Amino acid sequence: MSSIKYIFLLLFVSSFLWGQDDPVLLTIDEHPVHLSEFTYIYEKNNGNEADYSKASVDEYLDLFTNFKLKVHKAKELKMDTIEALRQELAGYRRQLAFSYLMEKELSDRLIDEMYERRKEDVNISHILYKTRRNASDREIESAIQKALEAYQKIQNGASFEALALTESDDKTTASNGGNLGWITSWLPSGFYNLENAAYNTSIEGISEPVVSKLGVHLVKVLDRRPAYGKIEVAHILVRHDSKRTKDPEAHIKKIHDMLLSNRPFDKVAMTMSEDKATATEGGLLKPFGINTFDRQFEEAAFSIKNNGDISDPVKTKIGWHIIKRISKPSESYEEFKARMKPELPKLDRYKIIQDILVEEIKESVDFKYNEELITSLKNNLGEDFFSYSWQIPQDLDQGILFEFGESGLFSLEDFAKYVKSNTKSRMKYNKEKNAQDALELIFEEYVQDISMSHYEKELIRKYPDFKALMREYSEGILLFEISKEQIWDRASKDTTGLEEFYKKNKNNYFHPTSALVSKYSFSINNDNLVKDIYQYASDNSAEKTKEKFNRDREILIVEQSEVEVLQLEKEGLKSKAGAISPLLTNPNNNLTSFKKVEKIIPLRIKPLNESRGYVIADYQQYLEKQWVKSLKKDYKVEIKEDVLDRLIK
């Protein structure tokens, strides 16, 4: 049984078990609504306040029942068959399904793989057939062909090491039989296929050709061992070209003797290490794994058995070292998962694993397609294929292109319509592909879309929360559509009903008691004139005050505004006509100002044209209440009290 078929079997079993303990909470005209629907919405919308108290549950059950009544009415009106709404829901489903696949299937699968591979190091050799960066498909195919020929020679008895010497484009390893040494997961972006070959090939086995960003490789696995993992050490360095001594080896041995006589390692490192980057930190290096430093340095570091132990002097390319083991960090699966999940989308394997999943889905339905039909379409592509004006050929073959399990049959015409509707897919290949190659790539996208749609059905069976979320989307779309029809559009278009509602409730829409306030501003250095303006304004209107003091030139600015009586105290004014504030001078611009209440404006009813927005909102609430009353009369709602009682805490 393939892995994907096994998964599908588990999905069926889990969905069967889920349904066994999900009683009906209520019915609407005998249509059941299960407990899981209510608890999902209740917990989602109430968050930490979802305490299942009787008051909380009763209150939310009433809202939930009203919601289900509206959705029931929408379905009775067959709104769920409206094509535009079906397409909208399909779009949500695709986005959500892809998110679930990434989060719950592919991410966990990748993390499991990476964590398991971290437990093992692999010693590998390779033969590389190099390709240029951004190599064409033809160049890559040529390199694969060379690798296949070499692979066949090895299968026929040729020496891998001998071929590495004569054929490998990696000249740094060719003379060593292509040996890359020990590697550990995970390899950098661009080398996931190489990593797969290393971890999936048996000892002394040879992989089939694999493609990396360097080219095409044949990989031979020489050995495996428990992974070294990471280690944290400190070191003391005496360089080969040391300026402190003419004999670095003798000097490092002298330092080693000092350490054996219990001199503190960090103090000695600070004064005697020639690694300036770490000496001030007592020689401390950040935790590292294999293939980070010189091989001799790493082997010595990982061979130290206990924290606190020190190595004998170790010779490397840059000098002599003494290494002290500080710690051997370890990471649990949950810690690793929490650390890696945000990093996965940055790794190339995140995209590659999607392709692998698609291949597994295709394998599960024994996917095969009619290549002759694709060829017939290719032969009918004109120069306008990459333009908006491209049309499906009129003499298109009507044959079946492929069958995809329960999803059904797909014709060449179905695919041609997909190509026509996906102009962006055609346009993006315009500069780098000919029409025939572009069609091949679009066909791959088409099959991938169908594969994902096929897998969506399994997500609903496997994840109850995915099923609940899809139901929420579906019912939310129906609720929006029927509410728009029954309430929102009606409230804005029913002018007669709106005017009647306003007449009955117009006392709710009013301008509160307010005051007309004048703000006087001027910049004058004459104190007597300031007093004159202030005194005259307190006894006269704003118009007379401006007329008197702005006769020769404008020295006085008056701004008027309507202020609610409740706000007057914040303005420094009493709520009566003639009230005036003290003089206030701004030291930054020498501008003097004061405010005066010119008159009190009594409360007054707003006409409909001034309060229309508020009236429409209230009218919508009124219509909704009337609608819910009508629905409760039209449909019988029955609450299963025994099920409800079990919810209460």
pLDDT digits (tens, 9 = 90+) for 45-66: 888 888 899 999 999 999 999 9
User: Does one domain contain both 194 and 245?
Assistant: no
pLDDT at 526 (0 to 100): 87
User: Does one domain contain both 238 and 220?
Assistant: no
Whether residue 590 lies inside any domain: the answer is yes
Give yes or no for a contact between 513 and 600, defined as CB atoms under 8 angstroms apart.
Answer: yes
CATH number of the domain bearing residue 258: 3.10.50.40
User: Does one domain contain both 217 and 136?
Assistant: yes
Last residue within a domain, chosen from 226, 261, 282: 226
Whether residue 144 lies inside any domain: the answer is yes
Whether residue 13 lies inside any domain: the answer is no
User: Does one domain contain both 269 and 171?
Assistant: no
pLDDT at 18 (0 to 100): 36
Judged against a pLDDT cut of 90, whether residue 148 lies above it is answered with yes
pLDDT tens string 527-563 = 899 999 999 999 999 999 999 999 888 999 999 999 9
pLDDT at 1 (0 to 100): 37
Judged against a pLDDT cut of 90, whether residue 389 lies above it is answered with no
User: Does one domain contain both 135 and 189?
Assistant: yes
Mean pLDDT of 91-118: 82
pLDDT tens string 211-260 = 999 999 999 999 999 999 899 999 999 999 999 999 999 999 999 999 99
pLDDT at 4 (0 to 100): 38
CA distances, 210 to each of 147, 161, 196, 224, 601 (Å): 9, 18, 9, 20, 85
Judged against a pLDDT cut of 60, whether residue 481 lies above it is answered with yes
Whether residue 72 lies inside any domain: the answer is no
pLDDT tens string 194-222 = 999 999 999 999 999 999 999 999 999 99
Whether residue 84 lies inside any domain: the answer is no
pLDDT at 624 (0 to 100): 93
Judged against a pLDDT cut of 60, whether residue 525 lies above it is answered with yes
DSSP secondary structure string for all residues of 528-557: HHHHHHHHHHHHS-HHHHHHHHTSSS---E
Whether residue 385 lies inside any domain: the answer is yes
At residue 605, what are phi and psi to the nearest 5 degrees? -70, 135
Mean pLDDT of 69-85: 91
CA distance 150 to 479: 64
Judged against a pLDDT cut of 80, whether residue 15 lies above it is answered with no
CA distances, 428 to each of 138, 140, 425 (Å): 20, 21, 6
pLDDT tens string 433-458 = 888 888 888 898 888 888 877 877 77
Judged against a pLDDT cut of 90, whether residue 273 lies above it is answered with yes
Tokens 């079993």, located at residue: 13
Last residue within a domain, chosen from 421, 437, 461: 461
pLDDT at 11 (0 to 100): 35
Give yes or no for a contact between 330 and 226, defined as CB atoms under 8 angstroms apart.
Answer: no
pLDDT at 462 (0 to 100): 75
Judged against a pLDDT cut of 90, whether residue 345 lies above it is answered with no
Whether residue 305 lies inside any domain: the answer is yes
Lowest mean pLDDT across 155-159, 185-189, 249-253, 326-330: 185-189
User: Does one domain contain both 257 and 220?
Assistant: no
User: Does one domain contain both 358 and 441?
Assistant: yes
pLDDT at 20 (0 to 100): 46
Percent of the chain at pLDDT above 70?
97
User: Does one domain contain both 357 and 454?
Assistant: yes
User: Does one domain contain both 249 and 319?
Assistant: yes
Judged against a pLDDT cut of 70, whether residue 460 lies above it is answered with yes
User: Does one domain contain both 220 and 279?
Assistant: no
User: Does one domain contain both 397 and 434?
Assistant: yes
**Number of domains observed in the structure of the chain:** 4
* Orientation of helix 435-462 relative to helix 464-483, angle to 10°: 100
Give me 551's structure tokens. 């006769």
At residue 488, what are phi and psi to the nearest 5 degrees? -65, -50
Give yes or no for a contact between 580 and 596, defined as CB atoms under 8 angstroms apart.
Answer: yes
Strand order in the sheet with 210-211: 179-184, 120-130, 215-226, 210-211
Give yes or no for a contact between 235 and 192, defined as CB atoms under 8 angstroms apart.
Answer: no
pLDDT at 303 (0 to 100): 94
What is the extent of the structural domain holding 222?
119-226
Judged against a pLDDT cut of 80, whether residue 12 lies above it is answered with no
Q: Indicate the pLDDT class of residue 5, thresholds 50, 70 and 90.
A: very low
User: Does one domain contain both 322 and 253?
Assistant: yes
Whether residue 42 lies inside any domain: the answer is no
DSSP 229: -
Judged against a pLDDT cut of 60, whether residue 6 lies above it is answered with no
Reference 216, options 123, 131, 137, 124; nearest CA is 131
Last residue within a domain, chosen from 198, 226, 254: 226
pLDDT at 22 (0 to 100): 86
Q: Indicate the pLDDT class of residue 14, thresholds 50, 70 and 90.
A: very low
pLDDT tens string 618-637 = 999 999 999 999 999 999 99
